Amino acid sequence: MQNTRHDTVRFDLVIFDCDGVLVDSEVISCAAHAEMLNRHGYTITPDQVLERFLGVSDREARQTIEAELGRALPDDFDSQMKQATLRRYADELRAIPRIDEAIAAISLPKCVASSGTPEKIRHGLTCAGLHDRLAPHIFSASQVERGKPAPDLFLFAAGQMRAAPARCLVIEDSLPGIAAAVAAGMSVLGFHGGSHCRPGHGERLRAAGAAAIFDDMRQLPGLIGRIGTN
Taking the domains of the chain in order of start, what are their residue ranges?
Answer: 13-25+94-228, 27-92
Write b or e for each residue in 18-51: b if 16 or more Cβ atoms lie within 10 A of its Cβ, otherwise e. bbbbbbbbbbbbbbbbbbbbeeeeeebebeebbe
Q: What architecture (CATH level 2) is domain 13-25+94-228? A: 3-Layer(aba) Sandwich (3.40)
Q: What is the CATH number of domain 27-92?
A: 1.10.150
Average of pLDDT values for 148-154? Answer: 97
Q: In the structure, what pLDDT confidence band is assigned to residue 9 with cuts at 50, 70 and 90?
A: low
Q: What is the pLDDT of residues 38-88, one digit of tens each?
A: 999 999 999 999 889 987 888 889 999 999 999 999 999 988 988 888 888
pTM value is: 0.83
- Taking only the tens place, the pLDDT of each residue in 162-183 is 999 999 999 999 999 999 999 9
Higher pLDDT, residue 229 or 218: 218
